[in-house]
Amino acid sequence: MRIVRGPRAAWAYVLGAPGTYVWLGILLVTTVALHLMPAEFEEHFLRHRSTNIHELSRSPVRVLVTSAMWIESGHWLPYAFLYTVFHASAERWLGTARWLAVCATAHVLASLISESMLLAAIRKGVAPAAAVDTLDIGVSYALAGVIAVLGYRIAVPWRFGYVSVVLVVFALPLAAGPTFTDVGHFVAVLLGLACYPLVRGRGKAWNPKETLAALRG
């Protein structure tokens, strides 16, 4: 019975987060396609789907959507783990619509804010003009926003420790020669924290102390 219960529990977990696993399935398909693509064509292909300044000025809606369907690194398994831990947890807690709202807010606004900052740097001569075509593709902004919003799933005072760790992890790159993507990740975290109105009324926060007590009892 225990052997059967494991797969059933796993399947129930997947069914409780349909958006997460549909997205993960799309990423699997696009990652395989990327590996099958000729190396000399790959960069041009991804750049056309990137949220860089050039593509945003031409077709903002298209690239904001397509950029979230590819993984630049080509490594799918780490994202399968991260999606299961963070995205699936958030979707099961918030519901698909609210989870998707957090993802969209973090991905879209962090992309636009970071690229606007890059454009300002180009105009000031701090960044080269060629930076308008800088490759900026992937799912990390949405992931950063969801990681942050999950802080509200944890009861006080444990919440403060979790949020502090998240802020430090994403702030550290800003202290050592930050790139526009580093800025985008930190902005996405702040946007995730700003999504508090979406989490109100979503049930009792998880208290690690109660879980430990239950395990000991």
Positions of E strands within the chain: none
- In this predicted model, which residue has the larger pLDDT, 32 or 217? 32
> Is the pLDDT confidence value at 44 over 90?
no
Q: What is the CATH number for 109? A: 1.20.1540.10
3-state secondary structure of 111: helix
State the pLDDT at residue 217. 58
- Locate 83 and state its tokens: 């999606």
Structure tokens at 44: 């041009």
What token pair was written down for 52? 């860089």
Look up the domain containing 83 and give its range.
2-216
Q: How far is Cα 118 from Cα 134, in angstroms, rounded to an integer?
A: 10
What type of residue sits at position 100?
L
Chain segment 173-187, per-residue pLDDT in tens? 998 888 899 999 999
Domains contained in the chain, number: 1
Would you say residue 36 has pLDDT above 70? yes
Q: What is the sign of the dihedral through the CA atoms of 166, 171, 176 and 178? A: positive
Structure pTM? 0.92
Q: Are 109 and 50 in contact (CB under 8 A)?
A: no
The C-alpha atoms of residue 202 and residue 115 are separated, in whole angstroms, by: 34
The model's pLDDT over 88-100, given as tens digits with 9 standing for 90+, comes to 999 999 999 999 9
- What are the pLDDT digits (tens) for 49-104? 999 999 999 999 999 999 999 998 889 999 999 999 999 999 999 999 999 999 99
Residue 111 pLDDT more than 60?
yes
- In angstroms, the CA 144 to CA 170 distance is 9
